[in-house]
Each structure stands twice: as C-alpha cells, then as structure tokens.
Structure 1
Amino acid sequence: MLKTIWTYAEHLPPVPDASRLYLGEGGTPLVKSRYIGKAIGLDHLYFKLENLNPTGSYKDRFASVLVSQMRAAGQTVCLATSSGNTGAALSAYCAAAGIQCVLVVVDGAPLPKIRQMQLYGAEILMVSDFGKSAQVTGHVFAKLTELCQMHQLPLPISAFHYCPSAMQGVQTMVYEIMEQLPQAPNHIFSPAGGGGLTLAMGRGVVSAKAATKVHCVQPEGNDTIASALRWGQEKAIPVDYSTTRISGLQVANVIDGNEVVNTCRQLGGRGYVVTDTEVFNWHQELARREGIFGEPAGAVALTGVVQALRLGELSPSDVVVCPITGSGFKDMNAVERNFGLPDVSAISIAEGLGRIEQFIS
C-alpha cells in the first residue's frame, strides 16, 4: 500500500479529497546504520531519509497540507518566508496548484535552493540580515503578518506559532517511524533552528502515545533552545545575531522554542549544543560511510547523538532515530567550502590508464 501523509488524514486538518495535493511526499525510508552506529557504540541507529521527498526535504510534508488548504479556500497568492527548504517546497506545490508564490528568504540562503525556487516560478526577495538578526527578523515577520492580514492571506512559515494546522503534516514523519520499527524508538534526535521540526516530533510522539524521548540539537551559533532545555530554564532565549554556518538553522528568534522546551522536557528529552566543525565532519562521514548525501543540517541530529554517547546519556542497546532533513544538493556551497575536494579535469587515455593501474594495484 502506498504511504503518503494523507494516509494519516485523521491526524491532519480536514481538507476535501479534491483539494488534496500529492506530489510524492511522505513514505520515506527508515534505514539502519551500516557503519556509523557500530563505530560510535550503538546497535540500533536509524536514519529517516527525508531528503527523498519531492523537492528534497521534509518541508514537503508542510507544503502539501498548506497548499491543499489554500486550494480548498480558493486562494491564488502565497506570500511566505523561508531559509531555503520551505521556499523550495512551497514554490513547487504552488506551481502544481496554479498559485502565485512570493518568497522572502533569509540573508545568505544557499544558491541551489534559490535556483530551485526560481525554476518553480516563485518571485524571490532576499532581505539583509533576515534570519541572522533577531531585530530584523522580528520586524520582517511583523510586517508580513500585517500585510497578510490586510489581504486576508495566510502567512506560511513552517512553525506551529504561525501555521499550526499545516505543521501537522510534519508530524506524519513520526507516525511513519512508529510503523517502520517493531516498537517505538527510545530516542529521536532533532535539529532545531526555530524549533518547528523538533516540536512536530514531540507532538507526534505525544499523539502516538509512545514512550520516546525527543531531543533538541542546535549549532552553538544559534543556541536559542538547546541550552535552555538542558539547564532547566523555562523559556528559550533569542540570540542577537545567528553565527552558525549551518544553512536552515539560522533562526535568531525563538518562534516555537518555548513549546519545544516544554514538550521535550515532558518527554524526558535533553538539549545538545554542537559546533559547526563537528557537524561538517559527521556530514562527510554520512556520505562516505553510509552513502547518505544529506544537507549539513541533516547531520546535526547525528552530531547530537555522538555527544549524548560521550556524556553517557545513551545505552548501546537503545533504538535511536535521526532525520536526514534535506538533500546534500541543497547546499553545494558547503561541500565546496568545507571539504577541499579536488578538481576533476580531462586527461589523456594513457595518463588515465596509468592512474587506474595505481588505484587497483
């Protein structure tokens, strides 16, 4: 049976069948680690391959629900914000629905994500310091909210604070995980910028009535939630300026952070703060040891797992799940910048055969 997010329609906002837009989102594989798990001391480490969604990220789950709702309401214009993946997802689903899409993107959004949005036909506006500066980000959100209210439009931001019903689409990831394993996992580690994905994981676990701990992992240059969760603070704390180089996690404002702290704490989850360097190292290991080419943000959860093991907060027999949030092709700039890969240029047949002899001998 084909699994889609609409398989879990009872957990989603009501949308008429005729308005539901399906491009192949959901039903992504859950694969067991072949190398990294054993190397770090875990017998049951799994990766949820959200990079295999139609536009290359888990945000397709959000976009499918939101654009389906827009179709049902007869809306013809979508004005949204994005750090990259949400914009790519919304622009694709809007293209399929015949809806005009205008996107305000964060300062420094990777070019491959921008090009993807443009190819789908979206209009793109990049605002200086948006996403990096809490003050600028708050101002942009406020102005766009005012504009959308004036024109009776939704403001599609992939966060429960702004779009709680559409974010239920992201929760379907948890329902799939529960069905793909013999029993509920002991732990789900989730990367966080504004916290929407982590909150979706937590609420999905609560809805599934599972005994699974959901942990929040953040890069140290955008630590709005993780330290607050770990050290017993009641609320997330915005940063003045996000300095992480992990695309998609540059969210200086709290957004869903307070709810993440509450929900993860209720589920027994912890916060983990990791460095960009650690993330890039595990990003490369995922590709070279597991054959998984995710975006750098997709390696953040795994980096948190490694830290948890180092702190003695996981057992070797624990079942642990990490989402690979998006495709590595989304941020090729990071690959070029961080790994120093050699250039490939044309050579003669004789030279090529000589090198092949060296490789195989």
Structure 2
Amino acid sequence: MKNVKYLQCIECGKTFKPEPGRYICDVCGPKLGILDVIYDYEYIKSKASKETFANNADYSIWRYEPFLPIEENGPKPKLRVGWSPLYKPEKLAKEVGLNNLYVKDDGINPTGSMKDRASCVAVAKAMEENADVICCSSTGNAASSCAGNAASVGIKTVIFVPGRAPLGKVSQLKIFGANVMSVQGSYEETFKLSADAIEQNGWYNRNAAINPYLVEGKKTISLEICEQMNWEVPDWIVFSVGDGCSIAGAYKGFLDLYNAGFISKMPKVAGIQAEGCAPLAHAWQEKREWHQEAENTIADSIAVGVPRNAIKALRAVSESDGVWETVTDDEILDAMRFMGKNAGVFGEPAGCAGMAGLRKLVANGVIKKDETVACAVTGNGLKDTANAIKAAGEPMKVEPTAEGLKKALKEIGY
C-alpha cells in the first residue's frame, strides 16, 4: 500500500508496519491499543484531486481508492457500496428549525446500512490475504453487510449476533449463506465469543473496533458528503453512536481531506446515543470516565454497553469541539415518523437516533439556525418493521362495504 505510511497506536504512539494480522498495539493491548492508519498525503495528492473526482464515473466507495488502505488495483467485492444520496429536504429543515439541513441516507446501501462501507473494505483486505472465512460479532447491520459482501465473492462467514437481533437482520444473514451463531446473552458476551473463535481458527477479523482498516471504509461517508456539497464543509455532522466506529470514521474522513488539502476547516461532531444505553454520552455529560451500561433500548444497532471504539469516538467529539446528546426510545420513534412524513426517508430506530438528537440540540440552542448540518441516517427502516409499526401505528381496518368506506374516509377527514 503505497499510500499508507504505517499503523500507529492511539494510546502510546508506537508504529507498526501494515502487515496481515496486525490489528492492535502489542504494548497497550486490545482495550487501549487501537491503531490509526497514517497516510502519505503527498502520495494521495499525486493520485487524487477535485478534478479527478469530477471526471470519475465510478460512483461507489472505490472512487476514493487513493484514500483507502487497500492494494492499488487489488481485488474487491462485487456489491456497489457507497455514493448514497445527500438530500436537502426544505420542509424537514424548517420543522427542525434550520436554514440548511442535509440528510445522508446510507440505508440505500446493498444490505441496507452504513456498515457496508466497512464490510467491503474488510472483504477486500480478506481477499488480499487469501482468507477463507471472515468472522465478526454484531447487533445485526455489520453482520448482514459482512455476509452480503463476502457472499459476492464466495468467501464463507461465521457471524455472532445477540439473541435480541431483529429477525429482519437475521433473515438477511441466512439468505447470504452465513453461519449464524445467535448468542443468548449481551452484545459484550457475543463479542467475546467471536473473538475466541477468531483466535482459535485464524479467521479474518471483521470486528470494526479491532480491525483498524474498517473505520477507513466508514470514513467514505464524509468524503461523499464533502464532494456532494461541492467541497463545502458543514458546520456540524450528526451521527448515532453504538460501538463508536461510525462516528470515528466520519471524523477521520474529514481529517484526511483536511490533511490532504481538499478542505480548509473541520466540522463539529455531535454523537447521539440512546438514553437506555449511553455509556459515552453519560460520561461526557457527567465529566467522568465511561463505564459499561445495560443495553436497554429499541435501537438495537446502537445498543452497545461496552463500546469497543470508545477512544476514537470520544476523540472525534472532543477534538472537533463537538457535543454528546442522549435520546429516549419515544424520541427515536417520533423521529422515525418525523423523517418519513417530512422527508420521505425511512430509517430504522438507530438510523433515526441522529435526527432525534439533532432536534434536541437545535431546540436547546446548541446548534444555531444559520449553521449548516449534515445528519446521517445509518440504517434502513425495513431492517426493523416491528418498531416501524410501533412508531407509525397499525393501518386502519375498513369493512368491504360502501358504508365501511364512508366511515373510514370520514375518520381521515374526507
């Protein structure tokens, strides 16, 4: 990888060659020794410019290959990941109380979530290393994205999910041919089992908080936002947070663009967690170290009591002078209805948590009316139809008669 200088421990600063199997710092261990991918920005600038992007017809994650830690012109999975729409919904902005609001709908990715960005990089790296099996733990979206992208090139997957994972996500896994291990316990217990299985069998590790390359895939959402905004930088970016990998990746994307000279400022980062599982937001609000919390929220994709990428997530908010916010399950359900009604965007609970948090931040005066905001919807609503019905309500039942029709129409004002 000519564009990568080295991997660097974010705790002690020790550097490592980007070799197969290198995931963490030997000195600091798996909890603190998370690695950053450090790039040669002069090399990137020799390969990419605003002009080359303007003339690039590959509208997928791979248009940003000079910014990604993969072998130049190396093997890649077959699904078309990335270049999701960036909407500017005027009605939604008005209802939120903003002049300029952008919504990045990453639920249109092949398996329905932002996690496809990380998984396609994972599969590309696994192909470089001639891996036969890819393994991960997940609350659902990372699992289905891993299984789908791996299936596109015939690589087997072993996936560990907590028993509470929605059936919509588990059904995806089974359709993609994954070996699914439904762990009857918490996400933390699920993660530990997957880590044991990976170590025992030598499988490729897709766990995003351990594998430093996966955050790099997630950062492409920010590269797209900038390019789609004609290289203007929003004042704020708003992301829901579970493990911490997505918000860390989003921040890293802007940082890489800044260091490579593509943009001249950085956005502030707002991290949104569900009140029923908000170890990072609660720690920030109470000015203390974070600790494990119960996983008590309908937003399963961000129900992570022990966030594995806490350090990078906290760093993204603190270095950008951003904020953390929490939202209740009722506020999340309301945000699902709110986005659907005012923008036509259907997000799962975790996917809409960011919008729920944004509404609170604007209402509380943290984000100002004239500031430009990009809010990510990280997962499609079809992932969790049970909670969608809970949010929107059951359909009206109509008797198949003229009187039944008249009665029904009167109830809706016609």
* Residue of structure 2 equivalent to 1:155: 205
* Residue of structure 1 equivalent to 2:226: 178
- CA deviation digits over 1:231-257, x for unaligned, max 9? 444x43221x21111120111103111
Is the deviation greater in 257-266 or in 180-189? 257-266
- CA deviation digits over 1:54-82, x for unaligned, max 9? 11111111111101111121111122111
**How far did 1:109 drift?**
0.6
Does the 8 Å contact 1:80/1:104 carry over to 2? yes
Does the 8 Å contact 1:13/1:166 carry over to 2? no
TM-score, with length taken from structure 2 = 0.80
Q: Evaluate the alpha carbon distance shift between residue 19 and residue 352 of structure 1 in structure 2; reply closer, same or farther with a 3 A threshold.
A: farther
C-alpha distance in structure 2 between counterparts of 1:114 and 1:288, whole Å: 28
Aligned partner (choices 305, 313, 317) of residue 370 of structure 2: 317
Percentage of identical aligned residues: 27
Q: Secondary structure at the match of 1:46?
A: strand
- The letter for the 2-side match of 1:326 is G
- CA deviation digits over 1:163-209, x for unaligned, max 9? 11122011000011011114100000110111111111121222122
**How far did 1:51 drift?**
0.8
Q: Secondary structure at the match of 1:342?
A: coil
**How far did 1:8 drift?**
1.0
* Residue of structure 2 equivalent to 1:214: 269
C-alpha distance in structure 1 between counterparts of 2:391 and 2:106, whole Å: 23
* Residue of structure 2 equivalent to 1:48: 104
- The letter for the 1-side match of 2:275 is E
C-alpha distance in structure 2 between counterparts of 1:96 and 1:276, whole Å: 35
Does the 8 Å contact 1:236/1:261 carry over to 2? no
* Residue of structure 1 equivalent to 2:217: 169
Q: Secondary structure at the match of 1:289?
A: helix
Q: Evaluate the alpha carbon distance shift between residue 357 and residue 270 of structure 1 in structure 2; reply closer, same or farther with a 3 A threshold.
A: closer
Q: Secondary structure at the match of 2:163?
A: coil
Does the 8 Å contact 1:193/1:248 carry over to 2? yes
Q: Evaluate the alpha carbon distance shift between residue 35 and residue 170 of structure 1 in structure 2; reply closer, same or farther with a 3 A threshold.
A: same
* Residue of structure 1 equivalent to 2:85: 29
* Residue of structure 2 equivalent to 1:334: 387
* Residue of structure 2 equivalent to 1:263: 316
TM-score, with length taken from structure 1 = 0.91
* Residue of structure 2 equivalent to 1:14: 70
Does the 8 Å contact 1:237/1:254 carry over to 2? no
| Structure 2: runs of 5 or more not aligned | 1-56, 259-264
- The letter for the 2-side match of 1:280 is L
C-alpha distance in structure 1 between counterparts of 2:249 and 2:380, whole Å: 20
Does the 8 Å contact 1:229/1:265 carry over to 2? no
Does the 8 Å contact 1:35/1:290 carry over to 2? yes
* Residue of structure 2 equivalent to 1:199: 248
Q: Evaluate the alpha carbon distance shift between residue 345 and residue 57 of structure 1 in structure 2; reply closer, same or farther with a 3 A threshold.
A: farther
Residue 272 in structure 1 maps to residue 322 in structure 2: no
Q: Secondary structure at the match of 2:152?
A: helix
- The letter for the 2-side match of 1:203 is K
**How far did 1:94 drift?**
1.4
Does the 8 Å contact 2:243/2:306 carry over to 1? yes
* Residue of structure 2 equivalent to 1:285: 338
C-alpha distance in structure 1 between counterparts of 2:63 and 2:183, whole Å: 38
Higher relative contact order (CA 8 A, sep 6+): 1
Aligned partner (choices 149, 155, 166) of residue 110 of structure 1: 166
C-alpha distance in structure 2 between counterparts of 1:290 and 1:31, whole Å: 9
* Residue of structure 1 equivalent to 2:33: none
- The letter for the 2-side match of 1:60 is D
* Residue of structure 1 equivalent to 2:291: 237
